[in-house]
Amino acid sequence: MSDWLERFIGETVIVDMDSPYVCLGRLEQVDERYLILADADLHDMRDSDTTRENYIAASVTTGIKRNRKRVVLARSQVVAVARLQDFTDL
């Protein structure tokens, strides 16, 4: 069975979680239970006064603030995945 996320492997993605976290990084691997991102920024939105959209927009402009060499995310906690290049803050 093919996984639609496989087409994003090697690309920088935004992962919206079902919690106050957002993760930005290069998608390395996917399976039925996990996403693995490299050179990632796992950000707790409770640690900043900005919105999720503004945080991502700033990362597009200034670059991802890497705080993890690698992070494993449970797919059960993922709300959405998008390529960073597809982000728009209209």
Q: What end-to-end distance do the CA atoms of the chain give, in Å?
A: 36
Task: Note the pLDDT of residue 3.
Answer: 84
Task: Note the pLDDT of residue 22.
Answer: 97
Entry pTM: 0.91
Q: What are the per-10-residue average pLDDT scores of the chain (90 residues)?
A: 85 96 98 97 94 92 95 97 84
- Of the candidates 34, 44, 46, the one whose C-alpha atom is nearest the C-alpha of residue 68 is 44
Task: Note the pLDDT of residue 1.
Answer: 41
The correct answer on CATH 3.40.50.300 for the domain covering 4-84 is: no
Q: Which two tokens stand for residue 84?
A: 């960073």
